[in-house]
Amino acid sequence: GKQLMTARKTGFVLLFVITLLGIGVTVVLNSWRKTPYGTLHTNAALVLKLIEFRQMDIFANNATPTQIREASASGRSILQKALTPVHQIQNTTFPGPAGPVPIRLYIPDQRNELPVVIYYHGGGWVIGSLDSHDNICRSLANKASAIVVSVGYRLAPENPFPAAIDDAYAAFIWVSKNISTYNGNPDKIAVAGDSAGGNLAAAVSLMNRDRAGPGLSAQILIYPATDLSSLNTESYHQFEDGYFLTKNYIENFRSMYLPDPSDWKKELASPLLANNLSELPPALVLTAEFDPLRDEGEAFAEKLKASGTSARFIRYKGMIHGFAGMDRLFDESEDAIEDIAGFLKEVFR
């Protein structure tokens, strides 16, 4: 009997300690989540604390572009789930303006002719690759029942503006001429991208309109950079430091991609500054609540609408820049792909 009583007491004490610890952890987590501008998602708060604790900075110690790319790639496995299978994945190249451009086609299991999404990866025009956004492209191909063509455009600083845009537009032209070979429908093509890739997708839409190019059904812009001229919005002031993507990062990326400041205001670098945003394909703009790029993305959607172009934006609460690719941390990354797939099914009807 005594042993049973002792065991019970020990059990109660342990339970009490665990409960206290749980309450303590919850209190600490909640304090990390609270900001002057709203409440972060729990996992976002944890990621930001880890970055702060480890003083992580990909541009530290005058890192070279190669070192920056390696540092960025090394952290990917923490953020991304195991890859989703796709019926067929094919790596190939097409002849770009300055030589072969690598592309990766994701073809879901469908017998009918499929719509097509051309995807431009993010990474400040300096980092990122076909591999870094593999999870987004796989998920998008499956959920949208579309062929996704991911484009390995040339990166800065080795290839500054407008190399990435030239490759991005050349990819669109190549796809429109050749995608029927892969059972893709050349009359149902959308461009999409995140961050720097969203900037490229918007630029391709402008170029295609001005060049009277092939039909383009839609543009999907995931937390896009749309104004590189001033970096001076309210969201820049609120989230310039400590929220994953920093103003310092963006200034470094801009100096590599646009070394000549006279290019900053050009519409293909800063689509928000374009004089004419009419007669462009329908746009879906996704933004993150705690992102320095939030306001310019939403301003771009509003300016498109004011110009007569169909556009809408969705702001994801509690999210930080890059969340769409962080599917291990955020269910919202899947929500974003679902929202994009729903939008595409509407425009591809």
pLDDT, tens digit, 9 for 90 and up, residues 261-275: 999 999 999 999 999
Average pLDDT over residues 11-37: 69
- Between 196 and 77, name the one with better pLDDT: 196
Answer with the residue of higher pLDDT: 27 or 64. 64
Structure tokens at 297: 């993305």
* Percentage with pLDDT > 90 across the chain: 81
**Catalytic positions, written as ranges:** 195, 291, 321
Confidence at 18, pLDDT banded by 50, 70, 90? very low
Check whether 12 has a pLDDT greater than 70.
no
Confidence category of residue 56, pLDDT binned at 50, 70, 90: confident
Residue 11 has pLDDT above 80, yes or no: no
Contact 144, 341 (CB under 8 A): yes
Q: Summarize pLDDT for 115-126 with one digit per residue, the tens.
A: 999 999 999 999
pLDDT computed for residue 22 by the predictor? 58
Average pLDDT (282-295) is 98
Bond preceding residue 108 cis, omega within 30 of 0: no
Q: Which tokens in the block code for residue 55?
A: 């003083």
Beta carbons of 319 and 41 less than 8 angstroms apart: yes
Q: Is the predicted pLDDT of residue 181 greater than 80, yes or no?
A: yes
pLDDT score of 1 more than 70: no
Tell me: pLDDT of 66 over 70. yes
Rounded to 5°, angle at Cα 309 from 308 and 311: 125
Task: Quote the CA–CA distance of 312 and 343 in Å, as a whole number.
Answer: 10
What pLDDT does residue 189 have? 98
What percent of the chain lies above the pLDDT cut of 70? 93
pLDDT recorded at residue 77 = 75
Residue 48, pLDDT above cutoff 60: yes
Question: What pLDDT does residue 21 have?
Answer: 55
Q: What is the mean pLDDT of residues 302-328?
A: 97
Residue 236: both structure tokens together: 């820049």
The alpha-helical segments, DSSP class H, found in the chain are: 2-33, 42-54, 65-74, 76-79, 134-144, 163-178, 196-210, 234-239, 247-257, 294-306, 332-347
Pair 70, 126: CB distance under 8 Å = no
Give yes or no for residue 213 having a pLDDT over 80: yes
Within 8 A by CB and 6+ apart from 185, the residues are 113, 114, 115, 116, 179
Cis peptide before 85 (omega within 30 of 0): no
Q: Share the mean pLDDT of the chain.
A: 93
Please state the rounded mean pLDDT for residues 189-206: 98
Cα(220)–Cα(197) distance, integer angstroms: 10
d(C-alpha 117, C-alpha 134), whole Å: 14
Per-residue pLDDT at 61: 87
How far apart CA 246 and CA 233 sit, in angstroms, is: 13
What is the pLDDT at residue 19?
56
Cβ-contact 94, 174 below 8 angstroms = yes
User: Which of 1-25 are b and which e, b meaning 16 or more Cβ less than 10 Å from the residue's Cβ?
Assistant: eeeeeeeeeeeeeeeeeeeeeeeee
Model pLDDT, residue 9: 59
Specify the pTM. Answer: 0.92
Instruction: Flag whether pLDDT at 17 surpasses 60.
Output: no
pLDDT digits over 149-169, tens only?
999 999 999 999 999 999 999
Mean pLDDT confidence for 190-214: 98
